[in-house]
Amino acid sequence: MVSSPAVDGRCGVGLLSALLLLLSASGCSAMDVLVPSEINALNGTTIKIPCTFTSCYKLDTTKFVMNWTFHETANDTEEMFMAYYKKKGMVALRSDRFGDRVMFAGNLDKNDLSITLSDVQPEDAGIYNCYVRNPPDRIQGQGIINLVVVTELPAPRDSTIAVAIGASVGGALALLILSMVVVKCLRRHRKQELISEEKMEEEGKLEAEGVAEEETKQP
C-alpha cells in the first residue's frame, strides 16, 4: 500500500500534538536560573541580589547543590562566598572581601536563592554567579549578575539646572498653549456674536418677506 502525502501529513500533525500534550501534561518547567543581568547599587547602601530557579523537580534538601561566587572581571578566578550545605543550609563563607556583609535573603521552599549585600563598597562591583544544581535534574544552571556600584548620586547642581530648564521650557509651552486657547475662544466668541447678529438680521428679513408674501396673497 502506498500512503498518500496527505495521510503522512495528518500523521505528522497527530504525532506532534501528542508530543506537545505529553510535554504540557508533565507540567514541568525546564531548569532555568533567573537573575537580572545588571544591578546598580549606591555605595554605603544595602542591596538585594536576586536569584531564583525553575526545575522539573521539587528542591530536595538532601541533594540540592548551590553556591554564590564573585569575580571582578571574567578573567579573574571566582571566589565562593556562600554555599548550601545539607545540614546547615545556606552559609556565608569566610571572605575578606565581604566580611559579614553578605546574608541569605531567599526561601528554599520557593526556589529563591537571593542574597543581600550591605554597606556596598566600590570594590564590590563585578560579576556575581548563582550556580544551581537540583538533582535529579541533570542540568546545572548558572545566573550571571553584573553589579555596578555608583559612588555618588548625580551632582544636585546639574539636576537643579535641568529642572530649571525643564520648568522654563514647560512654562513657556504652557503659556503658548494658554494664549492659543484664549485667542481661539475670543475668536469663537466674536464669530458667535456675528452669527447671532446675522441670524437676527435674517430673521428680520424673513419676517418682512412673510409679511410681504401675506400682503401679496391678499387679493
- Those residues whose C-beta lies under 8 Å from the C-beta of residue 91, and which sit 6 or more positions away, are 82, 83, 84, 85
Using CB under 6 A as the binding rule, whether residue 144 contacts ligand NAG is answered as no
HSE of 48, CA atoms in CB hemisphere, 13 A: 10
Contact by Cβ (8 Å): 116, 103: yes
CA 17/CA 135 separation, integer angstroms: 29
- Residue of 36, 44, 89, 166 interacting with ligand NAG (CB under 6 A): 44
* Residue 174 backbone phi and psi in degrees, to 5: -60, -40
β partners of residue 91: 83
CB of 131 to ligand NAG, least distance (A): 4
Q: Grid coordinates in use for 111?
A: 526556589
Q: How many CB atoms lie within 10 A of CB 131?
A: 20
Using CB under 6 A as the binding rule, whether residue 133 contacts ligand NAG is answered as yes
Alpha-carbon torsion, ordered 163, 168, 169, 174, to 10 deg: 120
Nearer residue to ligand NAG within complex by CB, 43 or 95:
43
Using CB under 6 A as the binding rule, whether residue 40 contacts ligand NAG is answered as no
- Residue of 39, 65, 105, 125 interacting with ligand NAG (CB under 6 A): 65
CB of 97 to ligand NAG, least distance (A): 15
Q: Grid coordinates in use for 184?
A: 481661539
- Residue of 34, 39, 43, 125 interacting with ligand NAG (CB under 6 A): 43
CA 190/CA 199 separation, integer angstroms: 14
CB of 14 to ligand NAG, least distance (A): 40
Nearer residue to ligand NAG within complex by CB, 24 or 73:
73
CB of 21 to ligand NAG, least distance (A): 33
- Choose the binding region for ligand NAG from 72-80, 109-117, 164-172, 208-216 (rule: CB under 6 A): 72-80
Nearest residue to ligand NAG by CB is 44
Residues engaged in binding ligand NAG (CB under 6 A): 43-44, 65, 67, 73-75, 80, 122, 131, 133, 140, 151
